[in-house]
Amino acid sequence: MAPIGAIDAATTGPAGKRADVELRLPADSAFASVLRTTTAGLAARLDFPIDDIEDLRIAVGEASAMVLPEASTDSDLSCRFFMDAGQLTIRLGVVVDHEVAPDYDSFAWQVLTTLATSASAETQDGEFAISLTMESGHPEIGL
């Protein structure tokens, strides 16, 4: 196990950047509201318009709905937030004990990809993760 604060492949995201915020929750849908609230708070900090904040809340809820059923017993949902001026990238992942093929035809994926600027899913090193990025309607506004 890496020391707290260590930068490794599990804590990096776009272009090897370290997450600005990392949240670890039990892999249980009962905690999805915590994730949606955190997402909204961070998007508000980046001065996202209200409509974009609500779209992000919904997109994160759909991403959670896709990864949580695949989680191994007693695993956690890890969420990493990467903040840039006018952009928020979120990576949600769970530990899995099997290969996961995302259902790109599912309602959840269709909603997610409609609301987010971009989205991707991958299974790598025993983790199933979905990443999504939302660009603000006001990119000149930043931290």
Structure tokens at 21: 């915020």
List Cα–Cα distances, 128 to 48, 71, 79, in angstroms. 28, 8, 12
* Tokens at 90, concatenated: 């979120």
Give the mean pLDDT of 48-57.
Answer: 95
Tokens of 13: 């995201």
Instruction: Give the per-residue pLDDT at 136.
Output: 86
Q: Is the pLDDT of residue 15 over 70?
A: no
- Spatial distance between the Cα atoms of 121 and 108, rounded to a whole number of angstroms: 12
- Residue of 94, 72, 90 whose CA lies nearest to 132: 90
Here the tokens at position 27 are 């892999």
Q: pLDDT tens digits, residue range 64-74? A: 999 999 999 99
Q: Which CATH architecture has domain 18-135?
A: 2-Layer Sandwich (3.30)
Threshold 0.85, pTM exceeds: no
pLDDT in tens, 104-122: 999 999 999 999 999 999 9
